């Protein structure tokens, strides 16, 4: 019998028409479902994939990483070009390579990065529909950035955790968080060792309260200390959220992370 080999792959997808990453019992369309179907065709055997981070309905990815085991002997390009030939237009394999069997897309990851893109203009954009989130209120970006710095380091993020979260605990280490404006776009960039369910969207939703001037920048520190989700802001829409990077130990020699989405100014 052929010894199975482990393959790692970088995946990109537009989450607008997916019911999230994970396979669902009722058959709803998911990224995992489409990817496993295409991989199984190329491998000529049933393939099951493990991802670095499960994304919700409507969430996009430029830097998702997966791994799978297979006894099929294929050239690397078959796991990219061959699989893409069987995938729909809104999901793509960007790279693939053989890795040691101790590699896990989920458990070997040391850092994950998300970018939340907010379109901040009076009128919504038809061209950016489902690709970014939109809010018409003029926001104080400096205040939001200042407030966000209270979340750095290892903390209990219970105030930013959804009630459906299945994680054993809410302790996470946040390496960096920045808020910056480029024209009508506001970019929230967050890097942490791992994330709770809805954590990024709940953080953004709370920062918007600060951005509108409804709370001071010190409010985020207060929320963190309260450990109470009911005291924080709303969950920001999924449309603007992108999983952009997953970092692994150097020994695995994986390709660079995905493209960080930057949007051009929309003409008035």
DSSP letter at 81? I
Short-list 131, 121, 97, CA closest to 13: 131
Handedness of CA 91, 92, 98, 104 (dihedral sign): negative
Would you say 155 and 196 are in contact if contact means Cβ atoms under 8 Å apart?
Answer: no
Active site residue 142: no
The full DSSP string for 19-62 is: S-SS--TT----HHHHHHHHHHHHHTS----EESSPPPTT-EEE
As a whole number of Å, the end-to-end CA separation of the chain is 63
CB 258 within 8 A of CB 245: yes
Cα atoms found within 13 Å of the Cα of residue 20, Cβ hemisphere only: 13
Catalytic residue among 44, 56, 69, 89: 56
Closest CA to 259 of 94, 17, 118, 88: 94
Phi and psi angles of residue 52, each rounded to the nearest 5 degrees, phi first? -75, -35
Nearest CA to 28 out of 39, 38, 40, 15 is that of: 15
Active-site residue numbers? 56
């Amino acid at each position: 019998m052929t010894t199975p080999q482990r393959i790692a792959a970088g995946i990109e997808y537009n989450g607008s028409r997916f019911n999230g990453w994970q396979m669902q019992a009722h058959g709803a369309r998911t990224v995992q479902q489409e990817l496993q179907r295409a991989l199984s065709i190329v491998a000529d055997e049933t393939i099951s994939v493990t991802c670095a981070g499960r994304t919700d309905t409507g969430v996009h990815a430029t830097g998702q990483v997966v791994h799978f085991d297979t006894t099929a002997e294929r050239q690397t390009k078959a796991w990219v070009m061959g699989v893409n030939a069987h995938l729909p237009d809104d999901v793509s394999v960007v790279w693939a390579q053989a890795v040691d069997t101790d590699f896990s897309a989920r458990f070997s990851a040391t850092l994950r990065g998300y970018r939340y893109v907010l379109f901040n203009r009076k009128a919504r954009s038809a061209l950016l529909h489902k690709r970014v989130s939109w809010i018409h209120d003029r926001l104080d970006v400096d205040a939001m950035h200042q407030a966000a710095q209270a979340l750095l380091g290892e903390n209990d993020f219970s105030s930013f955790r959804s009630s459906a979260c299945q994680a054993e605990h809410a302790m996470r280490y946040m390496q960096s968080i920045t808020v910056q404006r480029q024209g009508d776009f506001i970019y929230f960039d967050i890097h942490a060792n791992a994330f709770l369910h809805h954590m990024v969207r709940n953080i953004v939703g709370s920062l918007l309260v600060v951005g509108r001037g409804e709370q001071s920048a010190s409010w985020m520190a207060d929320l963190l200390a309260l450990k109470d989700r009911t005291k924080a802001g709303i969950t920001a829409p999924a449309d603007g959220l992108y999983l952009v990077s997953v970092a692994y130990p150097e020994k695995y020699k994986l390709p660079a992370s995905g493209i960080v989405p930057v949007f051009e100014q929309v003409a008035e």
